[in-house]
Amino acid sequence: MTRLALTSPAFSLHSSIKGIIMLLLLFICSAGFLYAQAEQPVVSTAEKAQIVDSLATKMADNYVFADIGGKIAVLLRDNLKKGVYAKINSAMQLAEQLTQDIASINNDKHLRVFYQPSKTKQASEAGKDDKETQKAIERRSRLANYGFKEVKIMPGNIGYLKLDSFDGTDEGFKTAIGTMAFLSHCDALIFDLRENGGGDPRMVQLLLSYLYNEGEDVHFNDFYVRKTNDYQQYWVMPYCPGTRMPDLNVYVLTSNMTFSCAEEFSYDLKNLKRGTIVGEVTGGGAHPVSFYALNDNFGASIPFGRAVNPISKTNWEGTGVEPDVKVTSNQALDTAYKMALEKLLVNEKDEQFKLGYQWAIDGLKAADAPVVISEKLMKSYTGVYGIRTITLENGDLYYQREGRDKLRMIPLTEDYFWFKDVSYFRLKIIVKDGKAIKLEGHYEDGRTDFNERTK
């Protein structure tokens, strides 16, 4: 067994996994563009035979399960002899049909055949990189901000990271380090992987390392590689730049689009009992892949290994990762956010901080179940309260402080309101003998102020 670290020269699961992963991402992202540019590319009978033979050979020689790879090879060659591909002239249709055929034996979602015009041939199984291709890969990574799509601190000091890929470039690692530094002062952390299709396992290793103490010996995943018949181990890194967050409650949001490395991150945290998975069952792809050129026009992604979790002794291939809390993808963020706040509230001793957590929880509840107020009651609230004014416009109450923007009032209760664009402030209407007499301003930090009604 080989134990791997982020900086280890022995890291590669295959010849340059980083290039392989990024190359596949480039193919997937640009497939529609390439197809649109080529006007119904045609494949000849001779080329079809060559492609099928090449694909069959590579499946038999490289697919993670040798017996299944052999069965797929037999099926492909039989189909060719029977004339299954004889009437297929479109290169794109051939790629789709071959993908369906290999899936009929083993529904491995990483198995795919790609069509690519010869002038954009990307690479071969020997790992030779094309400079133009590499530039395109790097540009796409940069445009996607290396997968880091959104990072913020939500009310209640809950960190939120929307991560759409596990980018394995040097700039990706730099972005991860900066992002984790930004999040290092939060009280709980939410990873949003609902639109994450995977990437480089080294980024999984780096991000997981921030969730454990320095020097903590945590073995979180292995990869079995068919050609070497060996297991490559993944452990939490002994060092990572910045502040670690070993005591934070961690939540991971998933959907049926969460795939590959994003599933590994979820599966690892679940088995380590280090995070709570919230959302939908994930896509079910647990095999690392390599890209193989079939000729100058076609290529295939073929899994050469499989993940083996050291705790479960298995993986999520074909089944996906089962959430701890099963809700729809659209409900996942609010559910996890509320869970994080409620856990912090229960454990908090300081009354001032409790107010802050309850503040955020009340806002979530109001969004889930809006309160409806009668027009008669709303009219009774309108008026001038010193420097504050309440008006009724098109069925909604609006609040305005002198010299500031007008804000729509959203009821938490019949006499207590919040504002979508001002998270730190809420408004209480004090009523006496059926008449609004005063406005109380309530602030997230526990402060209050008030104005008597003047008109």
Query: For 1-60, how does the pLDDT look when each residue is reduced to its tens digit (9 = 90+)?
Result: 555 555 433 333 433 344 444 445 444 444 444 444 445 688 899 999 999 999 999 999
Residues in the chain: 455
Please tell me whether residues 378 and 315 are part of one structural domain. no
Spatial CB neighbours of 341, under 8 Å, sequence gap ≥ 6: 156, 158, 188, 357, 360, 361, 364
Q: Return the pLDDT at 121.
A: 53
368, 400, 425 — which closes off a domain? 368
Matching residue, tokens 């051939």: 94
Provide the pLDDT for residue 211: 98
Residue with structure tokens 């119904």? 40
Instruction: Say if CB 158 and CB 188 are below 8 A apart.
Output: yes
The pLDDT, as a whole number, for residue 362 is 85
| Range(s) of the domain holding residue 218 | 1-368
Same domain, 213 and 190: yes
State which residues of the chain have pLDDT below 50.
7-23, 25-38, 119-120, 124-127
* 20/123 same-domain check: yes
Q: Are residue 341 and residue 415 in the same domain, yes or no?
A: no
Local structure of residue 83 (DSSP, 8 states):
T
Q: Within this chain, do residues 381 and 359 fall inside the same structural domain, yes or no? A: no
| 319 plus 395 within the same structural domain | no
Phi-psi map region of 236: left, alpha, beta (phi>0 left; psi -120 to 50 alpha): beta
At 39 the pLDDT is: 57
Do 131 and 90 lie in one domain? The reply is: yes
User: Contacts from 437-444 at CB under 8 Å and sequence distance 24+?
Assistant: 438/385, 439/385, 439/388, 439/390, 444/155, 444/356, 444/359
Query: Same structural domain for residues 173 and 215?
Result: yes
Q: Indicate whether 178 and 219 sit together in one domain.
A: yes
Q: Which pLDDT value is given to residue 279?
A: 98
Residue 33 is predicted with a pLDDT of 41
Q: What's the confidence (pLDDT) of residue 391?
A: 97
Gap between the Cα atoms of 31 and 24, Å rounded: 10
- Are 364 and 390 in the same domain? no
Q: Work out whether strand 188-192 and strand 249-254 pair parallel, antiparallel, or are unpaired.
A: parallel
DSSP label of 319: T
342 and 210 in a common domain: yes
CATH number at residue 364: 3.90.226.10
Residues 374, 363 share a domain = no
Alpha carbon distance 2, 12 (integer Å) = 11
pLDDT in tens, 341-351: 999 999 999 98
Q: Which of 347, 368, 389 is the last residue of a domain?
A: 368
The pLDDT, as a whole number, for residue 191 is 98
Among 368, 387, 415, the domain-final residue is 368
What is the Cα–Cα distance from 34 to 44, expressed in whole angstroms? 19
d(CA 249, CA 344): 9
Name residue, tokens 């070497």.
Answer: 228
CB 418 within 8 A of CB 397: no
Please write down the HEC assignment for all residues of 401-423.
ECCCCEEECEEEECCEEEECCEE
Q: Is the pTM of this model over 0.75?
A: yes
- What is the number of domains present in the chain? 2
Beta carbons within 8 Å of 375's beta carbon, 6+ residues apart: 392, 395
